Amino acid sequence: MGFGAKPRHVDGRAGVSRQTLHRWPAEDPAFIAEYDQARREIAEAVSQSLRVLSVESVRVLERALTDPGTPAAVKVRAALEVLKMTAAPPNGPTDAGDVWAEVTKRDRKRNMAEMLAGN
């Protein structure tokens, strides 16, 4: 099922009943795991695109802030926005042991999802 697609629009194309399409997202662990994985991949792709754009955005702001022709009021507003949007430090673990524990936990979840999916 495509993201945002209504079950009534995909049930015939998927070759399953509308009831099945409603049941899978609520009850089928393999479907839920795959659906969540796809959503994570989409979110990561969007996040990566935003990171690329943010680098260029910083360059644009830098040019505006250092250009003598930019009015002072514009510089102040731009500087304030930059300060508001300053990236927070990562909230993940900084200890290798803690990272290892999280990776192990993530791998166990992935393996469980694959087992449930029959892979």
> What confidence score (pLDDT) does residue 84 get?
78
23: tokens are 């049941």
> What confidence score (pLDDT) does residue 44 get?
92
List the domain boundaries for the chain: 95-119
Q: Which residues lie closer than 8 Å to 70 by C-beta, 6 or more apart?
A: 64
- The DSSP output letter for 9 is H
> What confidence score (pLDDT) does residue 4 get?
55
> What confidence score (pLDDT) does residue 26 get?
72
Who has greater pLDDT, 18 or 74?
74
* CA angle, residues 22, 28, 29, in degrees to nearest 5: 140
The model's pLDDT over 24-46, given as tens digits with 9 standing for 90+, comes to 777 777 888 888 899 999 999 99
Exposure b/e, 84-105, CB count within 10 A at least 16 = b:
eeeeeeeeeeeeeeeeeeeeee
pTM of the predicted model, to two decimals?
Answer: 0.42
The model's pLDDT over 59-101, given as tens digits with 9 standing for 90+, comes to 998 999 999 999 999 999 888 887 877 766 767 777 888 888 8
Query: Rounded to an integer, what distance in angstroms lies between the CA atom of residue 72 and that of residue 79?
Result: 10
